[in-house]
Structure formats: C-alpha cells, structure tokens
Chain A
C-alpha cells in the first residue's frame, strides 16, 4: 500500500479552508452565487477570504487556485456554475 501523494486530488490543506469554502458556496449555494455576481468582493468578505485568495478567485486561474490548496473539483464546478450564470448555456434537458 503506497502512501504517496496522489497526483490529481490531494489533501485540501487547512490553510485553504476558507478558499475551498468559497468555491463550495459558488458551486452549491445559489444565493451566495447571486451575491457574488452582484459584488464579488463583498461576498468573499462574508466568508473571511484573505486578499490573496480573493484575488485568485477573481482571476479564476486554475493553476493559481490549485497552488493555494483549492480542490480541483471545486475549482471546476464553481467556474462552470459562474459561467452558466453569466452567459446561459443552451442545454438539451432529458
């Protein structure tokens, strides 16, 4: 049994808790996402995000977010939900 660090989905460091909390809210909390789209900085202040984390979320750059300890799936889904809200994608619903 190997205890090597996984390549893709790594342990989310405690230092990134607030950052991941913000991405989780963007993914799963419709009200938070709406507030973020209205005033992103105010929404991030609600969650106590530090300046560097807030700047990384605003830039939306995946590599920077991952380097700060963000979980890849949360980055992926938060980004997708924000893009869907900003420019509604056409879906075929089954």
Chain B
C-alpha cells in the first residue's frame, strides 16, 4: 500500500548550522519536518522508501548508475560527527528491484554503498518513533548524463504500482531541491521564482508537467535534484501538493511538501 508521499529539502546546513545561515529560517524548516514526522506516525507506516540524488558519495566515476536500489540488511553514512545506521526493509527492497527489472527498468542494486546525506538529513528530522526501516532509492542527479525527468517519472509510476500491490504500509519520500547551484558562480542567486511557479503547479495537481521538462532546463534552474521529485510524482499521479513550507535562504530554496493521496 502507498499510504503517504512527501518531498523534503536536505541541505546539510539544516543539520549543522554555520553562522552564515539564518537561524529562524532553519527552525521554520525544522517545524515543517516535525509535521512530516507526526504525519508518518499518524499514517502508521511500516517503511519509508526514500528517493534521493547521490552527491558523489555512494557512487564515484568508477560506476554511475542512473537508478539504483539499496538492497542490503542495513545502510550507514557519516557526516562530520554524525553517524547514521538504518535497517533496510529487505522484502520491500527486493520486491522493488525484482519487479522494477521485470517492468523494464534496468536497475542497479547495491548492498554496501555508503549512505549520502541526501538520505539522512530528512530522516534525521522526520523519522517517527519507533523508527521505521527504509529503502534507499538512488537517482543520478549530479553526474551527466542523468536520467531524463520523463524517465524518472516513468520509474516513479512503476514504483508506485509495485508499492501499491504490497501488503506493507509504505511512505514514499523524495529528498532534494529546490533551486541551488553548489560549486558554481550562481551559488548566491538561485531561481526562486521558478520554484514558486513549480510549487503552484504541484498544488493544482499538475505534477506530471515536470515529466516534460528537459534536463537542460533543470540544470539551468539549479534544480537537477528535482529528478527525485519526478519519481514521486510518477507514483502519485495527479495528487495535489500541500506545501508545508518554502523557505528561500541566500543559496537554497528549501521546500517541504506532502501530496494528498
């Protein structure tokens, strides 16, 4: 069963705040994360399938999968003094990779890749109590050529069908975005208006329009990570988004969203 669908920002400054970041803004994003956590508890979810874009942490240039599924017993990642370890919902992870391949998606799988902060920053703040097992789902967002937004959307549609046929109560969460340009001369000038327009289309249940956007446009708008949103949009179809927050910092559009299923 698919019981919930969310999108969460994951910028690491939300976890460890340097003096450059507005404290009140960070706390407002945390408050939105806290709402997600309460929703996950209310939804009585059994597992979180989290779709995130690797920041060249799990996969370097030795091997760059477009779409990957983590199918180990547990996964782990570190960031500064933070140490994370999450149990994997193995039956669900296996079903996703096996049925995904059956449905024509040539998925990569891994049983050991390190977990990127794109996964654990949202989970740090939204993991319900007691904690749930997860299934990390990778989308290549940083190393061109990335999968097209349309392909991500189609993978999400398949993922949604796979999850809906399961007996577990599964929440889909995408991690990433919105506009930001790390490592470029655009770092301090994201495309906040693009974000706001996109959020308006999502509020109206027109998320499938993201599938028609080109990769070139996402790159231009600092939104290469929205490929992870395209996956969840493929799964939720025309559901309308409830935007918990949109908080533009000096370098990043932080959004937290729930889709009404």
Chain A residues with a Cβ under 8 A of chain B: 1-2, 4, 6-12, 17, 20-21, 24, 27-28, 62, 71-77, 84, 89-94
Contact = CB atoms under 8 A, between A and B. Distances in A.
Contact of B56 (A7, A27, A84, A93): A27
Contacts of A11: 144-145
Contact of A71 (B56, B80, B222): B56
Given A1-B148, A10-B144, A90 B19 contact: yes
Interface string B1-30: 000000000000011111100010010001
Given A9-B144, A91-B17, A92-B23, A62 B216 contact: no
Given A71-B183, A74-B183, A90-B19, A9 B61 contact: no
Given A12-B143, A20-B60, 20 more contacts: A1-B148, A1-B214, A4-B216, A6-B144, A7-B219, A8-B181, A17-B61, A24-B60, A27-B57, A28-B114, A71-B56, A73-B142, A75-B183, A76-B187, A90-B18, A91-B16, A91-B80, A92-B16, A92-B17, A94-B14
Contacts of A84: 80
- How big is chain B's contact interface, by range? 35 or more
B19 A73 contact: no
Interface string B113-152: 0100000000011000000000000000011110010000
A24 B40 CA distance: 35
B220 A7 contact: yes
A15 B183 CA distance: 20
Contacts of B143: 9, 12, 71
A2 B220 CA distance: 13
Nearest to A14: B61
A76 B236 CA distance: 34
Contacts of A89: 18-19
Nearest to B30: A94
Given A11-B144, A75-B183, A76-B182, A93 B15 contact: yes
Interface string B178-191: 00011110110000
B96 interface: no
Q: Which of B61, B144, B183 has the most CB of A within 10 A?
A: B183
Q: Which of A12, A27, A73, A76 has the most CB of B within 10 A?
A: A73
B55 interface: yes
30 contacts: A1-B148, A1-B214, A2-B214, A2-B216, A6-B216, A7-B219, A7-B220, A8-B181, A8-B219, A8-B224, A9-B143, A9-B219, A9-B224, A12-B144, A17-B61, A20-B60, A21-B60, A24-B56, A71-B142, A71-B183, A73-B182, A74-B56, A76-B182, A76-B183, A77-B182, A90-B18, A91-B16, A93-B15, A94-B16, A94-B124
A9 B19 CA distance: 28
Interface in B216-261: 216, 219-220, 222, 224
Nearest to B114: A28
B30 A28 contact: no
Interface pairs A-B: 3 shortest CB-CB: A72-B183, A76-B183, A6-B219
